[in-house]
Structure 1
C-alpha cells in the first residue's frame, strides 16, 4: 500500500517518517521523497494516528488524488534539481510528463490550480536555491553550475538569479563567505 506525504523534501524528512512508521509498528518496504510503500494495508485508526504524528513534525499525509499528483510533480522536480547529477537529455516538461505518465498540459494546469504558481516558477525557484547551495559550497564555478542546472549560458543563470534574489551570484557568494567567516570567528 502506498502513502503520499506532503512537504517531504529532504533526507532528514525521510528519517523522521521512518521513525514515525517504526513507532507505530508499520512495516514498510521503501520510504522515498513523498512516498511510503507499506508492506501491508493500514487501519483507519493507525492512518489517523500517523497523520497526527506527521502533522507534529510539519508533514502532511495526503488523501485526495489531485494533491497526491501535485506532490508527485514537486518530488520529481526536487529530485531532478537537488539530488540528481545526471544531465537531462530532454527538457523539464518532457521529463516530468514521461516520469509521471501524464500529459504535461494537464499536469501544468493542475499544478497551477492547486499551488497558485506555475510549474516553471516552481522549477526556477528550486534551481535558484540549488545555485545558492552550490555557490556556498564553492566546489563549482558558475559555468559548471549553469551546465549542471541546464541553463543555456552563465548570463542566463546570472540574470535569473538576480531577478529572483535581487543580487548577482558573485555578490551572493561573497556575502556567504563573509557570513561563514564571521560564524567561524565566534
Structure 2
C-alpha cells in the first residue's frame, strides 16, 4: 500500500515520518520524499492515528489525484534545486515530463489552476530561496552560487534575485535581517 504525504521536502522529513510510523506501529517498506510504501494495508483507525500524528509535525496525507500530482511536481522541483540543480542538462519542462511520466502541458495547466502560479515561477522562487540560504551561510562567492544553481551568469542571477526580492544579492548579504521563507510557504 502506498501513501502520499504532503510537505516532505528533505531527508529530515523522511526521518520524522519514519519515526511517526514506528511510534504507531506501522511497518514501512520505504519512505521517500512525498511517498511511503507500507508492508501491509492499514485500518481506518490506523490511518486516522497516522493523520493526527503527521499533522502534529507539519505533514498531511494526500488523497485526491490532483493534489498528488501537484505535490509530486513540488517535490521534484525542490529536490532538483536542493540537490542536483547543476546536473540539469535539459530544460525544466522536459525534466518534469521525464520524472513524472506526463505531458508537460497537462502538468503546467494543473499546477497553474491549483496553485495560482506557474511551474516556472515556483522553480525560480525555490532557486531564489536557495540563493538566500547560500548568501546567509557566507561560504560561497556569488559566482560560485550562480554556478552551483545553473545560472548562465552572475548578472542573470542578480537580475532574477532583484526581480523576486526587490534587493540586489549584495544588499541582501549586507542586511541579512530579511528572513527566508519556509519551503512550504512558497
Q: TM-score, normalised by structure 1?
A: 0.89
Deviation of 1:164 (Å): 1.1
Match of 1:75 in 2: 75
Correspondence 1:73-152 to 2 at 5 A: 73-84=73-84, 86-152=86-152
* Stretch of structure 1 that moved more, 66-75 or 36-45: 36-45
Match of 1:41 in 2: 41
Deviation of 1:143 (Å): 1.8
Deviation of 1:17 (Å): 1.0
Structure 1 residues not aligned, in runs of 5+: 180-186
Match of 1:53 in 2: 53
Aligned residues: 178
CA contact 1:161–1:168 (8 Å) conserved in 2:
yes
Structure 2 residues not aligned, in runs of 5+: 180-186
Q: 1-side partners of 2:97 and 2:62: how far apart?
A: 21
CA contact 2:93–2:104 (8 Å) conserved in 1:
yes
Q: 2-side partners of 1:120 and 1:33: how far apart?
A: 21
Question: Which of structure 1's runs of 4+ aligned residues deviate more than 4 A?
Answer: none
**What value does the CA root-mean-square deviation take over the aligned residues?**
1.7
Q: TM-score, normalised by structure 2?
A: 0.89
CA contact 1:87–1:148 (8 Å) conserved in 2:
no
CA contact 1:134–1:140 (8 Å) conserved in 2:
yes
CA contact 2:5–2:34 (8 Å) conserved in 1:
yes
Q: 1-side partners of 2:80 and 2:6: how far apart?
A: 17
